[in-house]
Structure 1
Amino acid sequence: MKKHVYLFAYFLIFLNITTYAQASLLQAGPMVGYSEMVEVALWVQTTKPAKVKFMYWETAAPQQKRSTEEVTTTQEKAFTALVKADQLQPGKKYTYELYINGNSVKRPYPLQFQSQTLWQWRSDPPEFTFAMGSCAYINEPEVDRPGKPYGSGYEIFTTIHQQKPDFMLWMGDNTYLREVDWNTRSGILHRYTHTRATKELQPLLGSIHHYATWDDHDFGPDNADRSFWNKEITKEAFKLFWANPNYASGEKEGIYGTFQWNDVQFFLLDNRYYKTPNHNFLGKRTLLGADQLQWLIDALIFSKATFKFIVIGNQVINPTKLEDSYTFYPEEKEELLKAIRQANIPGVVFLDGDRHHSVLMKMDREGTYPLYDLTVSPLTAGVAKPWPEEDLSLMVPNTMFIEHNFALLSVKGPRTDRVLTIRLMNDKGTEVWSKEIKASELK
């Protein structure tokens, strides 16, 4: 009898050692990427080569488990893996589990995702809520500037997770490349890895869907533009570490694309890859580039979405000619705004970050609906006031906020009377201000 007890005890010890060994291979994640009706993207990063897969099951029916394909992480891909849970039913909630080298790796927080609802021709679109934010600086003292750390308040990621949004929209400067990173692939991949492994970020990654665009700091140096010599490497890093559903430029250039959530469409723009240097006034100046701008206009005209969120790293309607704002590129900005007016495109709202403060701006337009521009920044980076010379005439009163923050945006109501509610939240989860915008007001 004792022999069997000892053998069982040894087995448990072996099992614990094996489980710990596989958990030690986990660098970051798992993360839930895009969600569609029958497919969801799942991401993970290991510390060295390993076989990874996910088991998943409808939360209400745990006896019916399914598996993703098993893939091997490699150094060439920074030991990241992006796999698809592609045996889903629309409108369901799922629980999932990570396996490394054939062994389950438990996490001390829920691992969940959801498939989008097939509501078309059947019901009103479901209500939903998403979080948005930008400028997430994670300190690494060995390579940071001397003095007071620039990043702080990582508990904001816990706060966002506690709000239980359907997804998180990352508005750019999602990681901050440093001088030590810009010139090498290893440096760039290290910075993305270092940011993604932030302890406070892991629960948010594991159960909230994530979509992203970039701005200058996760693209290259401060105010970086099309001349950045390693933009192909940062484009590669972005695609390795994020799980957007598509890239409209294909494998050629840039990272712009689109996704839908219920009756709303998001247009994720690339404001860096094609950008004319700020002080190059020789020839035509561009922020998005001709191909991306034409794609955006075509996609906006084609879209039947109630709200059309144009997601971009920098402010659009701020009238001040600030470097890295769209107003610094007035001809292209006017071309976009003119197209929105002439094509009678309803429901357009701009979402952006970059400024290290948050504000809602509103531009009235004669004979048509006003354009709103919501800036949300920063998550953990240092805060900054507007420049003394800024024209704040378009600012919606009492919406300027100069502390760490994020926003929660909800869309609800019947299909014919949808309402967008914007709630700006501080890092503790307390509402700072709110604003309702009816879809009927944007026609």
Structure 2
Amino acid sequence: MFSRRTFARLAGAASLIPAATLAQPEKPLSRIAFGSCAKQTLPQPIWEPILAYRPDLFIFAGDNVYGDFHSPDAADLKRAYDEARLVAGYARLRETVPHLAVWDDHDYGVNDGGVEFAHKEIAKDLFLDFWGAPAGDIRRTRGGIYDSRIIGPPGKRVQVILLDVRWFRSPLKITDKRGAPGKQRYLPDPDPAKTMLGAEQWAWLAAELRKPAELRLIVSSTQVLAEGHGWERWGNMPLEKQKLVDTIREIGAKGVVFLSGDRHIGALYRESPEGLYPLYEATSSGLNMVYWAAKEPGPNRLGPLFAAANFGVVEIDWSARTLLLALRDERGDTRRAVDVGFDTLGIAT
């Protein structure tokens, strides 16, 4: 855990610790928490166990507020952020814990939205303002809010890559049987012209993966590895999912783990692509938005879904060279977990 002196250095004179001012700390990260889907008009008791966990870093993985809007003034999104500021636990975490954030559809501004959303510019400005990005932040001058940080000293570096799967994402293929198992909303679309990230972000991601780091947490607000359902996921564009795997393989990036949200359920996944080490994904959703009746096949899921409020944790034991991915409930109890050795992820000694 960082000292108050370290907090002050990370945040400067600011009372908050926004993503843009998160600097490389002296000590390596060992306890990372993350979560998604926090509706500002509903109780949010889960912040207490998150704060009690004392994470070195918290990652807001999307749907950090629910503010869908359809007018140029973005009044509903502005109201959502104003209401979120009044949630005591949420505010306390933002004031006392270093954090990073990316959006999903409901803080982007429209359900399941992508490149076509007409009001995304004002949504971006509101997002960056809420998270305290300074005037010179590069995200204010380019499309999307994708971002990356490398935290920790050489040999114990954690790279956090925050993907924007909204700003550039092509329209999804609508299901031919709405509500049917595996076809709930969308179908896999093999169209090679469609994109999840857009050319600019793809090039940026490749450059980021070439930077030196031991462990890489790729945060995608929508699920990457999950199969067996027809909601939003990278599998809606199978060529783009394959491109992501191919990019990791071709660059030789070791230590990649995916973190995701969006689904209102928690789950852990593992996939073994050809010619690459096993890929793991932890989906944590929601902080207070839960799909209690969730049932779906999980051909690459590790254990059952966890359909209750939850937050995810990534615990790194640098001396034992192990990584724990886990989901914790509203009491802070571990409900799903998997241990992964550094050697499994190709992390060098």
> What TM-score do the two structures reach when normalised by structure 1?
0.66
1:173 to 40, 60, 63: 63
CA deviation map 1:65-116 (0-9, x unaligned): xxxxxxxxxxxxxxxx98999xxxxxxxxxxxxxxxxxxxxxxxxxxxx975
- The answer to whether structure 1 residue 317 and structure 2 residue 225 are counterparts is yes
Q: CA deviation at 1:264?
A: 0.5
- Paired residue for 1:293? 202
Count residues in correspondence: 321
Q: CA deviation at 1:254?
A: 0.6
Structure 2 unmatched runs, 5+: 1-5, 175-188
2:81 to 167, 171, 192: 192
What is the percent sequence identity of the aligned residues?
A: 28
- Paired residue for 2:337? 434
Q: CA deviation at 1:40?
A: 2.3
Measure, in 2, the Cα distance between the counterparts of 1:82 and 1:372. Answer: 28
CA deviation map 1:362-396 (0-9, x unaligned): 001334310111100100113245454xx411011
Q: Structure 1 188/316 Cα, relative in aligned 2: closer, same or farther at 3 Å?
A: same
Measure, in 1, the Cα distance between the counterparts of 2:98 and 2:13. Answer: 9
Q: Structure 1 317/136 Cα, relative in aligned 2: closer, same or farther at 3 Å?
A: same
Measure, in 1, the Cα distance between the counterparts of 2:20 and 2:92. Answer: 20
Q: Structure 1 186/369 Cα, relative in aligned 2: closer, same or farther at 3 Å?
A: same
1:134 touches 1:377 (CA, 8 Å); kept in 2?
yes
- Paired residue for 1:342? 250
- Paired residue for 1:375? 283
- Pairing of 1:161-310 with structure 2 (within 5 A): 161-179=51-69, 183-243=72-132, 251-262=141-152, 263-279=157-173, 284-300=193-209, 302-310=210-218
Q: CA deviation at 1:200?
A: 3.1
Amino acid in the other structure paired with 1:410: E
2:58 touches 2:97 (CA, 8 Å); kept in 1?
yes
Measure, in 1, the Cα distance between the counterparts of 2:84 and 2:71. Answer: 15
- The answer to whether structure 1 residue 413 and structure 2 residue 321 are counterparts is no
Matched position secondary structure for 1:155 = coil
Q: Structure 1 396/290 Cα, relative in aligned 2: closer, same or farther at 3 Å?
A: same
Matched position secondary structure for 1:159 = helix
Measure, in 1, the Cα distance between the counterparts of 2:165 and 2:13. Answer: 26
Q: CA deviation at 1:336?
A: 1.5
Amino acid in the other structure paired with 1:240: D
Measure, in 1, the Cα distance between the counterparts of 2:295 and 2:72. Answer: 31
Measure, in 1, the Cα distance between the counterparts of 2:18 and 2:273. Answer: 44
2:192 touches 2:239 (CA, 8 Å); kept in 1?
no
2:108 touches 2:123 (CA, 8 Å); kept in 1?
yes
Measure, in 2, the Cα distance between the counterparts of 1:311 and 1:41. Answer: 26
Matched position secondary structure for 2:173 = coil
- Paired residue for 1:52? none
Measure, in 1, the Cα distance between the counterparts of 2:245 and 2:140. Answer: 26
1:359 to 259, 267, 272: 267
- Paired residue for 1:40? 11
1:130 to 32, 38, 52: 32
Q: Structure 1 127/350 Cα, relative in aligned 2: closer, same or farther at 3 Å?
A: closer
Amino acid in the other structure paired with 2:36: S
1:392 to 298, 305, 319: 298
Amino acid in the other structure paired with 1:40: A
Larger strand proportion, structure 1 or 2?
1
Q: Structure 1 200/359 Cα, relative in aligned 2: closer, same or farther at 3 Å?
A: same
2:30 touches 2:316 (CA, 8 Å); kept in 1?
yes
Measure, in 2, the Cα distance between the counterparts of 1:379 and 1:202. Answer: 14
- Paired residue for 1:55? none
1:276 touches 1:285 (CA, 8 Å); kept in 2?
yes
- The answer to whether structure 1 residue 329 and structure 2 residue 237 are counterparts is yes
Measure, in 2, the Cα distance between the counterparts of 1:253 and 1:421. Answer: 34
Measure, in 2, the Cα distance between the counterparts of 1:82 and 1:313. Answer: 19
Measure, in 2, the Cα distance between the counterparts of 1:248 and 1:403. Answer: 37
Q: Structure 1 83/204 Cα, relative in aligned 2: closer, same or farther at 3 Å?
A: closer
2:47 to 147, 157, 162: 157
- Paired residue for 1:53? none
Matched position secondary structure for 1:187 = helix
Measure, in 1, the Cα distance between the counterparts of 2:259 and 2:140. Answer: 24
The runs of at least 4 consecutive aligned structure 1 residues that moved more than 4 Å come to 35-38, 41-45, 81-85, 244-250, 280-283, 384-388
Q: Structure 1 83/175 Cα, relative in aligned 2: closer, same or farther at 3 Å?
A: closer
Higher mean displacement: 263-272 or 322-331: 322-331
> What TM-score do the two structures reach when normalised by structure 2?
0.83
Q: Structure 1 283/182 Cα, relative in aligned 2: closer, same or farther at 3 Å?
A: farther
Q: Structure 1 233/41 Cα, relative in aligned 2: closer, same or farther at 3 Å?
A: farther
- Paired residue for 2:186? none
CA deviation map 1:401-427 (0-9, x unaligned): 11001122121223xx63212232101
Q: CA deviation at 1:43?
A: 5.2
1:264 touches 1:308 (CA, 8 Å); kept in 2?
yes
